[in-house]
Amino acid sequence: MDAAETLRALFTSGAASDPYPHYAKLLASGECYPLPAWSSAFAVGYAAIESVLRDPLFEVLGATGLDQSFPAWREHPSMSKNAVNDLNGSDHTRVRGLMSRAFSHRRVAGLEPAIAATTASLLEDMAVRGAAGEPVDFMRRFAYQLPVTVICDLIGIPVADRETFRPLATDLVVGLIGQRRPKEDALALADAATVRLNEYFTALADDRRRQPRDDLISVLVQIRDAGDGRLSDAEFLDNLNVLIVAGFVTTVNLLGNGLALLLADPATRTAVRHGDVSPAAFVEEVLRYEAPVQLGIRRAAADTEVGGIPVSAGSAVMLLIGAGNRDPRRFASPDRFDPRRPDAGSLSFGGGPHYCLGAALARLEATVAFSLLLDRFPAIAAAGEARRVPGPAFRGFEFLPVRIS
């Protein structure tokens, strides 16, 4: 199989269940590959991916990219492109500066008691459900619950509203990235959810205008109301919606991937539980070994090159983050899970100007979750076959049954 065939196989077959042999093949003979049939290049090496992420000549697709690939996008509310992850240049710097306030060291650290309390109550719920040796689905009962609760706390969504809010947020996420639906159905679902979420956030903003609180929505409302051009209405709404998507999918997968590794590796489980390996180091290696977001994408704003491969203006470069994390030029024995590795690190939160805004929050959630979980359920074990998220973009589980006693 040549490189082009390996790349196609990654995107077209069941390779998602184990992409790593494909990555290894690609990494063995290069940093970057052209795939002219898809008018793209694929960066697979750590250095190539990092250089693209840091180079301002490579932009996120945003409105310009969609005008090229899907000109009807403006008719779809869910495809609105004013969130921080869709902006380039000075617009990106301006909006990111505002959003960063929600993720300051102080604010993230301040969420720790709430994260610990939510974790404890979810573990209690699992304990009740699994008391008689019944299998409990860790994804449904824990991994989906914790990040959603945390993002609601961060934005400032009142507990009383969460029953209404949650199905809308789920529809948005399933619509945008659910790989088990026909594309048109998925988009219609995401569009309808976006319209209702925008109505919900507009009403909540009115409420916070009258009675500000110490939450993200109050901060953003004040900035928008200043009317000095720092934040438009569309930016206000799109950024709240993107946090839901970012908060729902990625940390969920980090939690599932981490638990699956603990279930498969009793020695690591004991080491983390007894503090021989810190939960933070464990989480860092889970991020490297099983990147929740496997793919990134950039668009070249001008003719350039990556890893010696010419890239023409307007064409896309796919970043195989999951491959970069297993690059033997960057990591010794990259296919070995080793939370004690001296060359720790990864591309899992991206890099450069779009580096993940929620990285510290995700790390904190996972660290708290795994320490409390191992304390509470030292004998946790797999209880049957798990099911992986389909497709090459995300790495995680839809279903991960465990037995806790």
Q: How many whole angstroms separate alpha carbon 340 and alpha carbon 215? A: 37
Closer to ligand HEM by Cβ: residue 326 or 354: 354
Residues 87-126 that bind ligand HEM (CB under 6 A): 96
What per-residue string of b and e applies to 224-238 under the rule 16 or more CB within 10 Å gives b? Answer: beeeeeebeeebbbb
**317 lines the binding site for ligand HEM (CB under 6 A):** no
Min. distance of Cβ 120 from ligand HEM in angstroms? 20
SS3 at position 78: helix
Q: Cβ-closest residue to ligand HEM?
A: 358
**292 lines the binding site for ligand HEM (CB under 6 A):** yes
If we measure between CA atoms, which residue out of 281, 287, 267, 241 comes closest to residue 396?
A: 287
- Count CB neighbours of 181 within 10 A: 13
- Part in contact with ligand HEM (CB under 6 A); list of ranges 6-14, 21-29, 127-135, 357-365: 357-365
Q: How many whole angstroms separate alpha carbon 234 and alpha carbon 86? A: 13
Q: How many residues bind ligand HEM (CB under 6 A)?
A: 24
**318 lines the binding site for ligand HEM (CB under 6 A):** no
Closer to ligand HEM by Cβ: residue 26 or 287: 287
| 3-state helix vs strand vs coil in the chain, percent to 5 | 60, 10, 30
Q: Which of 251, 257, 315, 346 binds ligand HEM (CB under 6 A)?
A: 251
- Token pair 């994408």 in the structure block, residue: 297
Contacts for 200 with CB less than 8 Å, ≥ 6 apart: 161, 164, 165, 168
**349 lines the binding site for ligand HEM (CB under 6 A):** yes
C-alpha distances out from residue 22 to 27, 170, 334, Å = 9, 32, 14
Could you give the string, one character per residue 133-172, with x where binding to ligand HEM holds by CB under 6 A and - elsewhere?
------------------x---------------------
Closer to ligand HEM by Cβ: residue 268 or 367: 367
**223 lines the binding site for ligand HEM (CB under 6 A):** no
Residues 172-211 that bind ligand HEM (CB under 6 A): none
**348 lines the binding site for ligand HEM (CB under 6 A):** yes
Contact 98, 220 (CB under 8 A): yes
Token pair recorded at residue 308: 């010696």
Closer to ligand HEM by Cβ: residue 285 or 404: 285
- Part in contact with ligand HEM (CB under 6 A); list of ranges 124-132, 159-167, 210-218, 358-366: 358-366
Instruction: Give phi and psi for 56, each to the nearest 5.
Output: -65, -15
**354 lines the binding site for ligand HEM (CB under 6 A):** yes
**397 lines the binding site for ligand HEM (CB under 6 A):** no
**261 lines the binding site for ligand HEM (CB under 6 A):** no
Min. distance of Cβ 132 from ligand HEM in angstroms? 33
Min. distance of Cβ 104 from ligand HEM in angstroms? 13
Residues 3-32 that bind ligand HEM (CB under 6 A): none
C-alpha distances out from residue 335 to 19, 287, 324, 325, 328, Å = 12, 13, 12, 9, 9
C-alpha distances out from residue 110 to 66, 168, 192, 238, 364, Å = 38, 27, 34, 25, 11
Contacts for 35 with CB less than 8 Å, ≥ 6 apart: 4, 7, 41, 42
Q: Interface with ligand HEM by CB under 6 A: which residues? A: 60, 84-85, 96, 151, 242-243, 246-247, 250-251, 254, 292-293, 296, 348-350, 354, 356-358, 361-362
